[in-house]
Amino acid sequence: MTDTPATPSDPKEKIVLDRLIDQASWYSKKSGSAQKKYKLIKVTEIIAAALIPFFSPLKFPYVSFLVGGLGVLITILEGVLQLYQFQRIWTVYRATSEALTHEKFLFLARAGLYSDPKINAVALLAERVETIMSQENTKWVSLQSQQNQKTDEAGH
């Protein structure tokens, strides 16, 4: 077994690794973005919910509008979370990014399935990377279908 150079000399290997690295990075960034959005909205909801019992007993003008506005805000934010599914996207994209990174390290170490010298490791890597991304796409489509079904049911 030979060491894999930092820059592959095989153009096919470079193409496959570049795609893998690009996609793992994309999924990681999108996961992080969804996580931040989810947590920001949830923290805002928690703060708004905590303020309702704080403001409710106060006797200043328009307190009922403030309390009602906080309730409306919570409802809107929860609707946004349901519509955009930030938590699910965060976890699915994170899992996909980690699976791609795992595959990269196995390939580079020529470990696991890549340790057999009789196989074409580059072709196997390409197949496995595409399978991982295809599975993620299938999950995304399923998520969108579930969301559309919930939206349809709520509207009828």
Tell me the pLDDT tens digit for each residue of 1-43: 444 445 678 999 999 999 999 999 999 999 999 999 999 999 9
Domain coverage including residue 134:
12-149
106 in a structural domain: yes
Looking at the structure of the chain, the number of domains it has is 1
CA distances from 30 to 46, 94, 125, 132 (A): 24, 8, 23, 16
Tens digit of pLDDT for each residue in 88-116?
999 999 999 999 999 999 999 999 999 99
In a domain, 154, yes or no: no
Q: Is residue 132 part of a domain?
A: yes
62: left (phi over 0), alpha (psi -120 to 50) or beta: left
Query: Does residue 83 lie within any of the structural domains?
Result: yes
pTM given for the model = 0.82
Cα separation, 25 vs 119, whole angstroms? 27
Residue 152 token pair: 């349809």
Is residue 7 in some structural domain?
A: no
